[in-house]
Structure 1
Amino acid sequence: MEATFDVAALVGHHYRVDDYYEVGREKIREYARAVQDFHPVHWSEDAADELGYTGLVAPTTFVSIPAMLANRKLFETVITGYDVYVQTDQVFEMHKPLVTGDRLVSDVELASVRRVAGNDLLTIKNTFTDQTGEIVHIMHTTVAGITGESVAEGISEAIERVVMHGIEIPSRATGVATDQPIEANQPTPSLSEVSRARVPHTAIRFEDLAVGAELPPRTMQLTRGDLVNYAGVAGDANPIHWHDDVATLTGLPDVIAHGMLTMGLGAGFVTGWLGDPGALIRYGVRLSSYTVIDARSVGNVEFTGRIKSLDPETKTAVIVIVAKSAGRKVFGLATANVRLA
């Protein structure tokens, strides 16, 4: 069943969030624990200093936290009328590593709407500038807006009964945007070049790589406790990740891991191999399935990777990442662009 409003007419709607998000030292550690990323630069100032950073370095997908806060009003007051949103694609473009004390301001834009298999695919673009006024991170999030027969009756009421206080439930009512639009005459900030200019301190040298070479595989475990912890740390209160009845009402076989959580695990898989998280400059994931986490057992996600291409001029590589859980491919297509020493 199609949405009863013209969401395509909203393409181009954009605003700037009226407050900044400050990257906190302990928040970095909380998030690194939530995505099981124990690289020392996320935990120790001394380790970060050794690699030339001015503070703890935020894990790759950390920026999803301020993005979720920034996008909340878009879903609550602009893109209304859907019963459920399902994440499908995510792209992170890193122009400068995020470190303790960075103050991020987000510009939010509904960048595109496509109709695929009876559902609207909506892409939201977050552009983050820091206190220097430069663009440090760009994030593209694609979700499917779902309405109608594919969603069980009473899903909104079920969510309302269990979701944490302070979270608005999306509805079909037409909302009114409350953020201020970006002024047309406002200067366009420039892209930071730090991630492309700094000398990477990778454990792997470019000369030692070959197309087709494989990364050491890694298997990571997830429990219901991990999902609850991630929900609290990241601010993703969607009960399909921790409440059996709500997951069933949405047509899922059981509670599933957050897509962003599995992406965070995948990013750590790559940066752990690299040895320098700031050497990852682009990370894109298309989700094809989900990781089911049964209440009576531990879920496993198996990560493998191989070198797809190498660029001698820039000493960069493209890595293809495969993530599987219970024999299913969780990532339909996932790539990481990295710079090497």
Structure 2
Amino acid sequence: MAVRTLQQTGVGDTFGPVSVPVRRETLVAYAKASGDQNPIHQDEAFARSVGLPDVIAHGMWTMGAAGSVVEEWVGDGGRVVEFGTRFTKPVVVPADGGSVVEVSGVVKAVDEETGRATVDVTVTCAGEKVLGRCQAVVQLD
């Protein structure tokens, strides 16, 4: 994977949308890796009992999925120097087929001195924004 350079990056540049599928099996694996065994992420009956429409993805999984798309765009995970967001809506993951998270971005600023770019990241599922104020700062070559 090629590392993105300062010369090839400008304000207004875009990437995506990139589709990131999520299935119940994804949530089980994430729960094991993260230690987050909250039943809203695996037990449909429990999720519904607390007012959710179905099992939902871990917020940090959703953030990580978005971060992975930024990492791919910039060419190296170590070049993502800041990443922040607000969790605005859950990603509902039905048993039959799962869901798809769509990630896209637009370069909002490029700092020639530091070689860093600020990227606004948009993350949606089923046409609804699931992360708000999602922004990454990346180091360019």
Q: TM-score range by the shorter chain?
A: over 0.9
1:277 is matched with: 77
Whichever residue aligns with residue 85 of structure 2, its letter is V
| SS of residue matched to 1:211 | coil
Q: What is the correspondence of 1:145-224 to structure 2 with a 5 Å cutoff?
A: 203-224=3-24
1:215 positional shift: 1.4
Deviations 1:155-188 (A, max 9, x none): xxxxxxxxxxxxxxxxxxxxxxxxxxxxxxxxxx
2:126 is matched with: 326
Whichever residue aligns with residue 84 of structure 2, its letter is G
1:304 is matched with: 104
**CA distance, structure 1, for counterparts of residue 6 and residue 137 of structure 2:** 13
Higher relative strand content = 2
| SS of residue matched to 2:103 | strand
1:314 is matched with: 114
2:42 is matched with: 242
1:257 is matched with: 57
What's the Cα RMSD here? 1.2
Whichever residue aligns with residue 270 of structure 1, its letter is V
Higher-Rg structure is 1
| SS of residue matched to 1:330 | strand
**CA distance, structure 1, for counterparts of residue 137 and residue 60 of structure 2:** 18
Whichever residue aligns with residue 300 of structure 1, its letter is V
Aligned residues: 141
Where does structure 1 differ by over 6 angstroms across 4 or more consecutive aligned residues?
none
1:324 positional shift: 0.5
1:217 positional shift: 2.3
1:204 positional shift: 1.2
Deviations 1:69-93 (A, max 9, x none): xxxxxxxxxxxxxxxxxxxxxxxxx
Whichever residue aligns with residue 89 of structure 2, its letter is S
Q: What is the correspondence of 1:64-143 to structure 2 with a 5 Å cutoff?
A: none
**CA distance, structure 1, for counterparts of residue 16 and residue 30 of structure 2:** 26
1:138 is matched with: none
| SS of residue matched to 1:289 | coil
| SS of residue matched to 1:308 | strand
Indicate the percent of aligned positions where both proteins have the same amino acid: 38
Whichever residue aligns with residue 316 of structure 1, its letter is R
1:325 positional shift: 0.4
TM-score (norm 1): 0.40
TM-score (norm 2): 0.96
2:33 is matched with: 233
2:139 is matched with: 339
| SS of residue matched to 1:215 | strand
Which of 1 and 2 has higher RCO (CA within 8 Å, sep 6+)?
2
Structure 1 gap segments, 5+ residues each: 1-38, 40-201
Deviations 1:195-225 (A, max 9, x none): xxxxxxx621111111111013210101111
**CA distance, structure 1, for counterparts of residue 128 and residue 80 of structure 2:** 26
